[in-house]
Amino acid sequence: MARAGLGRSSRLATTALVVGANLPDIDLLWSLGDEVRYLDYHRGWTHSLFGTLVCSVILWVALLVFSRLAPARGSPGTLHRLRLLGVVAIGVGSHFLMDTTNAYGVRPFLPWDDHWVYGDLWVIIDPWLWLLLGASIFLSGRGGWVRSGLWLLGAVGVAALMLSTLLVPRGAFWGWLLGAGLIMAAWLRGVGAGQASRLSRTALALVILYAVGCSVLGGIARARFARLVEAELPVLLETDRAVLPRPADPLRWDGIVEEPSVVHHRTVGLVAALDPPGSGFASHRRQHADPRVAAVLESCTGQTLLRFFRFPVGVVENDETARPVVVLRDARFSRDRRRTGFGVFSVPVAPDGSPELDGLACPPSDP
């Protein structure tokens, strides 16, 4: 955004955009420590409409104070207070907007209402967004082979991340690598030199088009999922449903529909030809009436997880030693039998048959 022209609107505008776009994640200072605390506090009030306003005002005042304490040298431009405030609001607001678009969601009305809102356009880390925005920065930037090498390492890292995610189809993986290769070839030919503003505006326009495209494709997937639910789950006692994006694959989506005692999942293509082989509804039965599961859900930790989990599934399973374990999963992030990882929480069951609740995290009220 700075290279698209906002960086020239006022002195410290680029700083305002860079700091502002990351400032809401300052909640990591008090949300790190354990998984339950993180889920309860991260994307809290700093990621709300109220928090966007507060963070914007604080950063704006901090930049004005900095400009007084550290006067500019040379000719770095004029400080326009109101323009700077607008740029700060755009920077902070961009973080809120981007977090709103994914399946993780935000709580926009904190501190008064902790209801989650989900955009469901793409996953938290979308490689296509990285490619679009990274291309404009890479092609329009200055530097030699060291800078290029660092960018290449970053591209390799993203590619490795994509390759390690089994949900990413090979076509998307090779398409992303082809795009990265074309960007590198363009850089070697000098494409983009001295065109920072034009490239950045083009990248932002492409991101908007990509968002519109994902919204349209998501709507098509939701309509087809609704038809499949009606045809294959005729006695459904539905309480909620969602069609969620898959990593780097806007042609296939994950449909989830829940009943009081079971959560159904199916990967749905935009058309039947895009459905994965052997696709159909997989059902994940909840055991919430089991006293062991109920005890965990009624604990402070369980209540905290339920506030975050969109499609909670609580079951009792045996671990590697055949010891029973209460496992809570959010069907957004885990639909297999793993007992660790994001969106999964496990509580061992004691020999007397009760879950070991002592020592479980219980975050205090939101700071």
The predicted-structure confidence for 146-182, as pLDDT tens digits, reads as follows 666 777 777 777 777 766 666 788 888 888 888 888 8
Where a domain ends, among 230, 263, 284?
284
**Cβ atoms of residues 127 and 205 within 8 Å:** no
- Least confident range from 43-47, 48-52, 336-340: namely 336-340
The pLDDT assigned to 157 comes to 77
Torsion, Cα 338 158 52 112, to 10 degrees, reads -10
Q: Which amino acid is at 24?
A: P
Rounded CA gap, 52 and 104, in Å? 18
Torsion, Cα 212 218 223 226, to 10 degrees, reads -150
239, part of any domain: yes
- Are both 160 and 245 inside the same structural domain? no
- Are both 62 and 47 inside the same structural domain? yes
- Are both 277 and 295 inside the same structural domain? no
- Can you point out the beta strands (E) in 210-359? 240-246, 249-258, 262-269, 282-285, 312-318, 324-330, 344-348
The pLDDT assigned to 147 comes to 66
pLDDT tens across 211-264, in order?
Answer: 999 999 999 999 999 999 999 887 678 788 999 999 889 999 999 999 999 999
pLDDT tens across 301-311, in order?
Answer: 999 999 999 99
365, part of any domain: no
Question: Looking at residues 39-49, what average pLDDT do you find?
Answer: 93
Q: What is the DSSP string of 186-230?
A: HHHTTTTTT-HHHHHHHHHHHHHHHHHHHHHHHHHHHHHHHHHHH
- Are both 294 and 271 inside the same structural domain? no
At 203, is the pLDDT very low, low, confident or very high (cuts 50, 70, 90)? confident
For residue 236, CA distances in Å to 225, 260, 266, 287 come to 14, 10, 15, 18
339, part of any domain: yes
The pLDDT assigned to 72 comes to 65
215, part of any domain: no
23, part of any domain: yes
268, part of any domain: yes
- Are both 278 and 292 inside the same structural domain? no
- Are both 179 and 252 inside the same structural domain? no
What's the first-to-final CA gap in the chain, in angstroms?
Answer: 32
Where a domain ends, among 206, 229, 260?
206
109, part of any domain: no
Structure token digits, residue 127: 């490689």
Number of structural domains found in the chain: 4
Residue 327 structural domain: 286-348
- Are both 270 and 230 inside the same structural domain? yes
The pLDDT assigned to 77 comes to 67
194, part of any domain: yes
- Are both 266 and 299 inside the same structural domain? no
Per DSSP, helices labelled H in 70-108 are 81-101
What is the average pLDDT value for the chain, to the nearest integer? 86
Backbone angles phi, psi at 255, to 5 degrees: -95, 135
- Are both 296 and 280 inside the same structural domain? no
Cα 195 from chain centre: 31
- Are both 266 and 298 inside the same structural domain? no
- Least confident range from 33-37, 288-292, 298-302: namely 33-37
Rounded CA gap, 297 and 264, in Å? 21
- Are both 188 and 269 inside the same structural domain? no
- Are both 29 and 88 inside the same structural domain? yes
Where a domain ends, among 266, 284, 302?
284
